[in-house]
Amino acid sequence: MGRLLAVSAVAAALAATVSLPEARADAFSNCVAGKWGAAKRIGVTRANFDAATRNLRPDPTTLKLVNNQSEFVKPIWEYLDSAVSEKRVSTGRQKYREYQSVLQSVGARYKVDPEVILAIWGMETSYGSFMGEHNAVRAAATLACASKRRQDFWTQQMVAAIKIAQDGHVPLDKMESSWGAAMGHTQFIPTSWQAYAADFDGDGKRDIWRSIPDAFASTANYLAKHGWNYQETWGYEVVVPRNFDHALADGRKKRTLAEWSRYGINRVGGQNWPRPSDQAYLYYPAGANGPAFLMLHNFDVIKRYNNADAYALGVGHLADRIVGGGDFSQNWPRDERPLSRVQVQEMQSLLTRRGFSTGGVDGQVGPMTREAIRAYQKSSGTVPDGFASTKLLNELQRR
């Protein structure tokens, strides 16, 4: 839904499958016209469908961005440098003062912490300063008619967008979106808008483009519906003891904070856990040489907004910084060079060939790849932190 998803997961899903040369005007018009049945099924009128699709042309930027997937993945510390920049923190504090009353009301109504709503707004659109230069109907139609994968998904987004305009929530030509049809302050795709957008200012419109209260309430509603635990934060930066069994940092197995304490794990500042019975998993975003975190349930709720660890950590950290928290205490391994997608694929092939299945060779480091790395590291007597590093790739190439 957010921009990170738009440039990573969506692009990855579509990258190799869009055929621009074939997307000629006639074929595109015919394809768009063929979406009438899907539109009718959700209650779009013929007149509104025609008005929304007449003279519709493919969005060239959407096509370009879908085709130009970046080969290099930013390391998480570089991502966080820009996602949680000093400017974004100070603007967030200023916005908190500016919108304090509506944030408090939204937070109390939905039982979602205001600073997290603010942080998502900051991450998604830099607090509404950039909602995308595209139109949701056009962007979705382009993806529905010029890509060969997920056409049904994009068709649903396209007709849902027309329906939103038909219902009077926002005029068609004001339906600003990202190139991937993520709309308004909160960057909801049209079907997420249908499921989660909320009217907080009481004008009957769920206007995530022009109403800040609606945008805040929509984000809060999304988090609430996905199980947000009010006033229980997202996780803690922690220090692990020397000689710690790093295999426990599998980013999966939950234990209570009290149990983690028995393994010698403490908060970086040494404070007590507010709720020692909370369940958390141990996670090293950049391997054993970087910061360590104990992640609570809310971390996974943030990932429902955008399924990327870097994004969720960015939201959690930005929220903490906005309400006065400091930077992380431990340093990132900044001398580590990130692996390109091709290098990740090579690493996946090498691991699979050695009997450590990565569940496919897709160039993305997901849970199965991390698990395979961990198993390989254990077998070779190195620190099993599951981190895909150049050092690991070099070692696999040598053996």
Which residues of this protein are in contact with Ca ion, per CB under 5 A? 199, 201, 203, 205, 207, 211, 214
d(CA 392, CA 373): 9
In the complex, the smallest distance separating the C-beta of residue 110 from Ca ion, rounded to whole angstroms, is 15
Tell me the pairing of strands 266-267 and 292-295: unpaired
In the complex, the smallest distance separating the C-beta of residue 348 from Ca ion, rounded to whole angstroms, is 47
Nearer to Ca ion, 59 or 214 (CB): 214
Nearer to Ca ion, 146 or 198 (CB): 198
What is the Cβ-side half-sphere exposure of residue 370, based on CA atoms within 13 angstroms? 18
Nearer to Ca ion, 201 or 327 (CB): 201
**Beta bridge partners of residue 176, listed in sequence order:** 135
DSSP code for 72:
B
Backbone angles phi, psi at 38, to 5 degrees: -65, -35
Nearer to Ca ion, 5 or 212 (CB): 212
Q: Counting Cβ atoms within 10 Å, is residue 128 exposed (0-12), middle (13-18) or buried (19+)?
A: middle
Q: Which residues contact 236 (CB under 8 A, 6 or more apart)?
A: 267, 268, 273, 280, 293, 294, 296
Interior angle at CA 241, CA 378 and CA 77, nearest 5 = 75
Nearer to Ca ion, 187 or 233 (CB): 187
In the complex, the smallest distance separating the C-beta of residue 169 from Ca ion, rounded to whole angstroms, is 8
Sheet containing 266-267, strands listed edge to edge, beginning at the edge strand earlier in sequence: 255-256, 279-283, 292-295, 235-239, 266-267
Q: Which residues contact 358 (CB under 8 A, 6 or more apart)?
A: 348, 351, 352, 368, 369, 372
Nearer to Ca ion, 201 or 245 (CB): 201
In the complex, the smallest distance separating the C-beta of residue 132 from Ca ion, rounded to whole angstroms, is 20
Nearer to Ca ion, 125 or 156 (CB): 125
Contact between 108 and 115 under an 8 Å Cβ cutoff? The reply is no
Specify the residue for token string 């980013």.
Answer: 251
Specify the residue for token string 């329906």.
Answer: 163
Backbone angles phi, psi at 141, to 5 degrees: -65, -40
Nearer to Ca ion, 142 or 211 (CB): 211
Nearer to Ca ion, 210 or 354 (CB): 210
In the complex, the smallest distance separating the C-beta of residue 45 from Ca ion, rounded to whole angstroms, is 23
DSSP string, 193-204: HHHH----SSSS
In the complex, the smallest distance separating the C-beta of residue 134 from Ca ion, rounded to whole angstroms, is 23
In the complex, residue closest to Ca ion by CB: 199
Q: Torsion-angle region of residue 64: left (phi > 0), alpha (psi -120 to 50) or beta? A: alpha
